[in-house]
Structure 1
Amino acid sequence: MSVPRAAVRPAAVRRKVESWLAEQDEADAIVLLARPQWNDEPVLTVAGRTVRVVPCPTPLAARAALADRPPHEKLVLLTDLTDNELGDGLLAHVSLQQGRSVDPWDLVSQTFGGQVRPDSTLVRTGRWVADALTELAPAVGWPPPTGTILTRDHALRHLAGTVLGLEPDGLDAAGLLQWSTDAPAQMRLGDLPVEWIDGIGTFLVDVAGPVAVPVLAAVRAGHGVDAIPLGLLAGVLWPRDSAQSSDVELAVARTRLEPRFAGTRLTETQAWAYTEAAEAWIYRALDDEAVRHDAHRILRRAEDIAEEIGVAGRLAASPLLPAGFTQRMRAFGAAVRFSLPVAGPAVPAGDLIERAQERLAEVEAHRSADRTRVETARMAVRLLRWLATPEQQPPATMLDAVHRQIREDGWVDRARLDVFDGDVDQMVGDAYRVLHQAVHARRSRHDRHFAELFQDATGAERDPGALLRVEDVLDRVIQPIIDNGRRVLLLVLDGMGAAAGIEIAESLVRSGAWTELTPHGGQRTGVLAALPTVTAVNRCSLLSGMISVGDRSDELKGFAARFPDGVLLHKADLRTPAGLAVDREVAAAIEDPAVPVVAAVINAIDDALDRSDPGTVEWSADTVKGLRDLLAIAQDRVVVMVSDHGHVVDRGSEAVVGKSESSENRWRPATGDPADGELLFRGTRVALADGELILPWQEELRYGPRKAGYHGGASPAEAVIPLLLFASGNDETVPGWSGAPVASPGWWREPLRQTAQADQPAAAAPRTVAARPSRRPRAVVQDESLFDLPAASIPPPLAGPPAPVDPASALVEALLASPVYADRRGIRAPIPDERVAAMITALLAGNGRATLETLATRAGVPVHRISATFTALRRLLQVEGYPVLSLDPDGRTAKLDIPLMIEQFVLAPS
């Protein structure tokens, strides 16, 4: 009696025939015990032989097939008849004189080399696995396992890898997302039997994790090519903030998203894993120039889907989507705007500034951030902090006023130039406009007071005392350096004010090749210009050592009279032939030990006042043409960097054009009375108009034709010249000068939001801590805020009366007491523990981030040594090569991986 049998798949027949032909059996036919059903091509070519497949439901059908067989063909008879039903006469003409069963697992073994047997776990997975492995086997068979047992993992990894077009070891979340970008590959999966798809999907969840669920669900729904955009949106729709997770708008959006996952409802775990994998894919793609355009296309697609499901307004939650950056910037702009009072004194409230700083942190964290816009946002927050600082007593002397411009207001100028330039988004731009108005109002009071002191000092003809004037630089700065046996390179950066000087000094110190020196290692000082603050007056006075007026030839004469063995180079002298960055004669002069001082006039900044926009240029050794090249060959000279005057930038629609009988931009003859924003100046330091003229102190006032920037007036931005000294190597090379401290004022640096004691200079951290943990903990996921650190990361206090424990202090104490730290310190040296504690405390207070300037300030490290100190600290913390401490690409911001530090130094209890 025939036995009901399963239908046999074409690949199984082919495998059985391959095995039969390999036996070199001379029989012309083989009987396979299977359902007599065949819907494929009746004639196969196997191993070069023609094989015809004939379903035989009856013995008569089998006999007819044998009788009709052409001589060149082999036969495969599919039948569910028993050998008795077929009869000995028929079986005498077939291989082995009997029917052969089609065992799917025998065929699987054959495809893996024939010397293996499936383990029970693989067999229990289901018949579908055997059919899939048989049908999808490569022509050369599957790679055999290392032993004789074919495991489920080995078999299904190769099967799934073949189906998805991935390497067996690439069956992870990243691999699945990469596969989702290949539409033809998804179609190949869709062509498989449903049971196979389900089985492969189950296995992928095992090996790739929960990400496989939404990816495969999207593929089934026909939205597989949107798998990565959908993953990016999952982070918006399933926020980790429990307060938002119950949001009705998000719940509705999740429902709208379900059809794109074929009705599958994602769990939070699946959604979070999905988002992390999608974001990681985008991060890699953005860093790879070859596929960066794909990443941007995917980001745009995610925003389109967000619009379709009604959550476009919630994309600020995404750290990647460009629309999210726009929304974060607008939230930041609103925070800036709300921090400024509508009426009354423009002094922002501290809690509102804190909110703006929080919004800034969100902007900074966005991967699609426009770095220029982010830097402007940082400047805006700095200006908010400056506005919140109590107004000090006005300077009592001209020297104090110069120092305020160099040490405080010059930094304000640097920041407000960026804010004045604005933002492309109208909402943010409006906030910046209001902020700039508040800053300008306060700075204008400073400018007026400066000009009044300047007016008084100019008219009184007092002895300057400690005040450096432009005509004093050669005698009081350059000559003492030469007298102490050092040669000088004097760089006159025409038009460099305090703001530009700050940027240039930073770029030189950051390079590591130069050390900034200040008088006795104190704060920077400045030089007071002569009047009017134009090149013809001040550059000639600077280079001749007396108040004078002249052009290039007069400057050469005056300099030669003061330094007969010196060399003065102007713009034409610095031009070079093809192939040379520095002219041979210029290089020879700088390298000549017999030349005590080489002076070079560099016009890049002053030229920008006419030909470009000095307010938008970030001045540095790279943007001031020729500066880096001159410094490269002046390593054995002390570099003194000054200017002849500063400048103000054009105020656009805010500019005021005053009446004048001359065409000068920022000064006019003393005819009539001074108007608003002007003062009358007279004295021997007024070098034009017979020693008497009217100068504007208001920056927005001009008289002549419109340009990008102006100089000539009595504002501190024009009249205060930064004095910058640099030496290569030894910071004690110039008597009376030594390594400079951090130059920026406190409001410029990010605040430490921990406790009041964090604002004090670093002190040694207490060394008594809790008992040390006995084993290394698992990594802790970093929370959004330092003060939400997991309790496990904070060592328990010593026995005694309960007292409030500051988490950051406890963590620092635990670090210093860690056996791992002790071992590292013993071989790494030589940073004092109190310095380590100060820098780690600063980083913890900033949620793992702080600028190098902040670290230098908190740890009491001279600014020129902070790079080396940071490098030593990074080596100290880098256990087993893991980057506990790193430096951002901006070269200015340190980043501490707090969870990794906790793990590497075993700071959590077991």
Structure 2
Amino acid sequence: MAVRPAAGRRAIEVLLESELPHAEDRRLVLVDATYEGGDRETEFTVRINGRKRRVRITEQNSPLGIVDAWQRHRSQEDPDGDSILVVTGAVPADQLGWDLRAHAVRRRSLAVDPADIVKQLFGAADLDARMAGEKWLLDALLEAEPADHWPRSGAVLTRDRAVRALLAARLGLGDTTSDTLDFDADTLFAWTRTGAGPALFAALPAAERAGLSEWLEKTVGPAAPTLLALAADQRGADALPLGALASAALAASSAEAAGFALGTLYGSALASFDALRPFADAATGVVTRWIAQAEGGGPHGNEARSRVLAVLNRADQLAADARLSPLIGTDRLLPSGYRARLRALAATLDGDVAHAEAALRELAEHQLAELNAESTDMARTAVRLVRWLNGPMPKTVSTGQAVQEHMASAGWADLAVGILSEGDTSLDTAVGEAYHRLIGAVRERRTRLDEAFARTLADWTETASQQATGGALLIENVLAEAAAPLARDGGRPLILVLDGMSADVAVQLAGELDRKVWTEVIPKPRPGKQAARQAAVSMLPSLTTISRASLLSGEPAQGGQSVERAGFTTFWRKRHRDAHLFHKGGYEGPPGHRLAPELLDTLASDDVVAVVVNTIDDALADGREGARGRWNIGDISKLSDLLNAARDYGRPVVLVSDHGHVLDRTPRGHQQTDVEGVGGARWRTGTPQQGEIALAGPRVLAGGGQIIAAWRDDLRYTGRQAGYHGGAAPAEVTVPVITVVPSADLIPAGWTLLPAESTAPHWWRGGDAAPMRAGSAPLAEKPRGRKAAPALEGEGIFMLPGRGTLGEQAVQSPLFKAQREFVRLAPTEKAVAAVLDALLSAGGKLSPGAVAAAAQAATGKSQRNPERFATVLERLLNIDGYPVLQLIESGRTVQLDKSLLQQQFLGGAA
């Protein structure tokens, strides 16, 4: 006996909606199927031709039962006389009498074909042949039809289209109205983290769950069954954390033990361990893509970061619950792995630099390194200090050399100490203690350097003057040496005096300047000397009333604003220029103005302008800086506005201080009280004691020309502040001088650009970075095993063909020579070869300034506009659109593709 089809309520409704409009007044419907609607769905209403009609369903398995049911239905009170009786059951059609069939729609039993009904629901003329035998899919489509019905599918309803529609209706995956669904592992794993998604899947009939799982496995990949099994087990929210944890377990050194522990977490959802690898790979792929989104920042990046951390922190929690944590160790994805790598790095900071470098690489390779950028950067800073500690002890030869060394290197160590002093965001006590010990070791070395500097300073101070500088740049000579060259031929410099700016603050502010707007320049160094920023020596004691007055007057002076203003005017009047000096309150704009209109009017004139900004000094005095070790341009009142105004008015800028400062980093702040003649926080008169030095000479403008100055950074004579000045430490005495121009046309004669690569010391950039020679980029790459051919006279024949560096070989190629004929104002072959070799030596990336410096070093010709020079190189080298060389990072970096260079100009030869 054939098995009769089953029909649910929706199948009956569709049948009625199809048949009743053409059934005249017949109210009996015989259905050749068994009813699956259950007792609660035996009475309902349907809308036929816009009119609601009541329906009652009865299951009968004998002719007598059908007759009795029909008679009772007719005898029931029916005011409208249009109620419908639907009889389902297993009575063969030939056993029904003609008198009964005469009352039935179509006078016979109606067959129920789910496939036909599905076609009607989707408005399709035909159905995918594969669907005919898939009862689970047909039944689910009938049961899951949305209130606004299934969308029209066209001539043929394909199986994929039907399943996509079912997923949208049942599980909220996608949109039922869409013809396509971009379905991938990201979509499926994201769905597991929705509130209702996994619960909806768990509530589906087993056959439907199995059918959807099979389809998703083919569509998404082999990870789908495990994911859906977890959802069916009501653990869908943990699918992604479990996948990340599986990846860690499979990569563990004792993978078998880790896998066993992992099996307890998965339970019955894990069909076999063979299914674990694809599931883990899919999960880590999703998390990795989310991490990339998070690294992009912005609102979407922040949301992605929250998702990533929620997933991975949950994975760590699951690992702890299953006692897996010791087995997965330093996993490259989990937060616990990042913390373990950070602790491992901290343990190396007391030892050899090679171990610290290796630990830093391990930390940076962790996939959460960028999401923990502050912690990673702090670790990188710690390793920089280890490099500094393991480097040779700088020798203090002279005061001028010492302040230059402090500006170029030791000041960066101060910056690093300031950063580490803030403490790591992980709040890990082991890491914090390691940083504390490292800071102590740095301060011990700095103490030796500071003592040597103080002794040299004392000897130098006895005779130093404007007429006998001893090779040092004096603060009273800064205007003449740094500002006056910018004012030649009608130049209009803006001098920004940042009171209290020490070397570590200066390098931070300079590093934040937009290199597309500002070009840093310095006087051309003597041959063989390294390119470096300028640094001057303050007056003594290093106080505002002495050093700032001397700076702005261009000669030793002492006094307040009136002395400064008179001295500044007199200095420039001697050079036949009008000048204006603005102090605090004079340059800040009234309500509605960012800067004072008087200042803007002056900047628009041809006069020399100076502005004194007290933010740093005020912060130190008021204690607002605290242990914070970093300063941004936005932290300095109106500095951003002043720089923007200078740019808009085409003015070069000199960023200069009057003195530096030392920060109070002692727990309670050591104060020496049993001393005489206290003149300030860091100087006094009397007899020197431990940590102090006696200073006397023409540059000592307090204490009758003889003072006692503290050189230890933890020594003070007055109440505690955030920082102090007036002593003899190089951090106080060194005066940074940073000069930038908004246009290469404003570089004064005898000056040259300073590449960004020349500003940081080699130990800051990396252990294998070499210092740059004056006016040059890093040394060109030399071929191993042979010497470069000697240079010959004449452009274009300065080397033997096929010999020399890679850059030299490239510019000798026929293709390069032909291309050069078509590029207007193309640089010389020597210049291009030097640039290529400098880029190759630097790993393929340099700033435009360094590229221009490499060309200048090779030819002696100054490249005054580095960005324009790089653009010309692009046109020269990028034949047929191949990006051999290109400006990236918004024009801040020039990048060379070595393999493309070889393919394009050397036929692929190395």
Q: Shorter-chain TM-score: which interval?
A: 0.7 to 0.9
Structure 2 contact 541–683 (Cα < 8 Å) conserved: no
2:270 matched to 1:257? no
**What is the 5 A alignment of 1:277-288?**
277-281=286-290, 287-288=299-300
Structure 1 contact 731–739 (Cα < 8 Å) conserved: no
Q: What is the deviation of 1:639? A: 1.5
- Counterpart residue number, 1:32: 31
2:527 matched to 1:537? no
Query: Which one of the candidate residues 428, 435, 438 is aligned to 1:435?
Result: 438
Gaps of 5+ in 2: 75-80, 175-179, 526-530, 771-776, 785-804
Take 1:320 and 1:873, find their aligned partners in 2: how far apart are those partners? 41
- Greater shift, 718-727 or 38-47, is seen at 38-47
Structure 1 contact 498–721 (Cα < 8 Å) conserved: yes
- Counterpart residue number, 2:516: 512
- Counterpart residue number, 2:161: 154
2:593 matched to 1:580? yes
TM-score relative to the length of structure 2 = 0.81
**What is the 5 A alignment of 1:387-466?**
387-392=389-394, 394-423=395-424, 424-461=427-464, 463-464=468-469, 466=471
**What is the 5 A alignment of 1:78-227?**
78-115=88-125, 117-124=126-133, 126-146=134-154, 148-167=155-174, 169-227=181-239
2:43 matched to 1:43? yes
Take 1:504 and 1:37, find their aligned partners in 2: how far apart are those partners? 77
The C-alpha deviation readout for 1:605-652, integer Å capped at 9, x for no partner, is 111211222652533332211222222222322212211111111121
2:387 matched to 1:377? no
SS at match of 2:744: coil
SS at match of 1:46: strand
Take 2:508 and 2:137, find their aligned partners in 1: how far apart are those partners? 67
- Greater shift, 215-224 or 65-74, is seen at 65-74
Structure 1 contact 363–374 (Cα < 8 Å) conserved: no
Take 2:769 and 2:515, find their aligned partners in 1: how far apart are those partners? 30
**Count of aligned positions:** 828
Query: Which one of the candidate residues 613, 625, 635 is aligned to 1:602?
Result: 613
Is the alpha carbon distance of 1:320 and 1:880 closer, same or farther for their aligned partners in structure 2, counting shifts above 3 Å? farther
Q: What is the deviation of 1:721? A: 0.7
**What is the 5 A alignment of 1:843-854?**
none
Structure 1 contact 33–79 (Cα < 8 Å) conserved: yes
- Greater shift, 207-216 or 660-669, is seen at 660-669
Take 2:892 and 2:559, find their aligned partners in 1: how far apart are those partners? 42
- Greater shift, 572-581 or 360-369, is seen at 360-369
Structure 2 contact 479–552 (Cα < 8 Å) conserved: yes
Q: What is the deviation of 1:711? A: 0.8
Is the alpha carbon distance of 1:279 and 1:437 closer, same or farther for their aligned partners in structure 2, counting shifts above 3 Å? same
The C-alpha deviation readout for 1:287-341, integer Å capped at 9, x for no partner, is 536787666554543333232122345677566655444333222212324xx2x
2:334 matched to 1:327? no
Gaps of 5+ in 1: 341-347, 767-808
Take 2:258 and 2:898, find their aligned partners in 1: how far apart are those partners? 32
Q: Which amino acid aligns with 1:93?
A: H
- Counterpart residue number, 2:82: 72
Take 1:364 and 1:610, find their aligned partners in 2: how far apart are those partners? 42
Take 1:324 and 1:881, find their aligned partners in 2: how far apart are those partners? 41
- Counterpart residue number, 1:747: 763
Take 1:389 and 1:670, find their aligned partners in 2: how far apart are those partners? 37
Q: Which amino acid aligns with 2:44?
A: L
- Counterpart residue number, 1:626: 638
Take 2:702 and 2:464, find their aligned partners in 1: how far apart are those partners? 17
Take 1:874 and 1:576, find their aligned partners in 2: how far apart are those partners? 44
Q: What is the deviation of 1:110? A: 1.7
2:277 matched to 1:273? no
- Counterpart residue number, 1:792: none
Is the alpha carbon distance of 1:513 and 1:537 closer, same or farther for their aligned partners in structure 2, counting shifts above 3 Å? same
Take 1:436 and 1:472, find their aligned partners in 2: how far apart are those partners? 35
Structure 1 contact 319–367 (Cα < 8 Å) conserved: no
Query: Which one of the candidate residues 489, 493, 496 is aligned to 2:494?
Result: 489
Q: Which amino acid aligns with 2:219?
A: V
Q: What is the deviation of 1:687? A: 0.8
Is the alpha carbon distance of 1:894 and 1:277 closer, same or farther for their aligned partners in structure 2, counting shifts above 3 Å? farther
- Greater shift, 526-535 or 546-555, is seen at 546-555
Q: Which amino acid aligns with 2:435?
A: Y
The C-alpha deviation readout for 1:863-891, integer Å capped at 9, x for no partner, is 997777889999999999999999789x9
Query: Which one of the candidate residues 736, 748, 751 is aligned to 1:734?
Result: 748
Q: What is the deviation of 1:556? A: 2.2
Is the alpha carbon distance of 1:144 and 1:165 closer, same or farther for their aligned partners in structure 2, counting shifts above 3 Å? same
Q: What is the deviation of 1:209? A: 2.1
SS at match of 2:462: helix
SS at match of 2:458: helix
The C-alpha deviation readout for 1:197-241, integer Å capped at 9, x for no partner, is 1101111112222332232111111112223333333332233xx
Q: What is the deviation of 1:372? A: 3.1
Take 1:834 and 1:472, find their aligned partners in 2: how far apart are those partners? 36
Q: Which amino acid aligns with 1:83?
A: A
Structure 1 contact 843–895 (Cα < 8 Å) conserved: no
Take 1:300 and 1:278, find their aligned partners in 2: how far apart are those partners? 12
Is the alpha carbon distance of 1:67 and 1:110 closer, same or farther for their aligned partners in structure 2, counting shifts above 3 Å? same
Q: What is the deviation of 1:468? A: 1.4
Q: What is the deviation of 1:68? A: 2.1
SS at match of 2:635: coil
Is the alpha carbon distance of 1:449 and 1:859 closer, same or farther for their aligned partners in structure 2, counting shifts above 3 Å? farther
Take 1:310 and 1:35, find their aligned partners in 2: how far apart are those partners? 54
Q: What is the deviation of 1:84? A: 1.6
**What is the 5 A alignment of 1:650-729?**
650-653=664-667, 655-658=669-672, 659-672=674-687, 674-729=688-743
Q: Which amino acid aligns with 1:177?
A: F
SS at match of 1:685: coil
Structure 1 contact 43–50 (Cα < 8 Å) conserved: yes
- Counterpart residue number, 1:228: 240
Q: Which amino acid aligns with 1:661?
A: E
Take 2:885 and 2:10, find their aligned partners in 1: how far apart are those partners? 55
- Counterpart residue number, 2:324: 311
RMSD: 4.4
Structure 1 contact 667–693 (Cα < 8 Å) conserved: no
Take 1:842 and 1:22, find their aligned partners in 2: how far apart are those partners? 83
SS at match of 1:625: coil
Query: Which one of the candidate residues 553, 565, 570 is aligned to 2:562?
Result: 553
SS at match of 2:358: helix
Structure 1 contact 494–601 (Cα < 8 Å) conserved: yes
Structure 2 contact 246–276 (Cα < 8 Å) conserved: no
Is the alpha carbon distance of 1:833 and 1:204 closer, same or farther for their aligned partners in structure 2, counting shifts above 3 Å? farther
Is the alpha carbon distance of 1:250 and 1:387 closer, same or farther for their aligned partners in structure 2, counting shifts above 3 Å? same
Q: Which amino acid aligns with 1:473?
A: V
SS at match of 2:31: strand
Take 1:863 and 1:313, find their aligned partners in 2: how far apart are those partners? 58
Q: What is the deviation of 1:433? A: 1.9
Q: Which amino acid aligns with 1:420?
A: S
The C-alpha deviation readout for 1:561-580, integer Å capped at 9, x for no partner, is 32343111111322321111
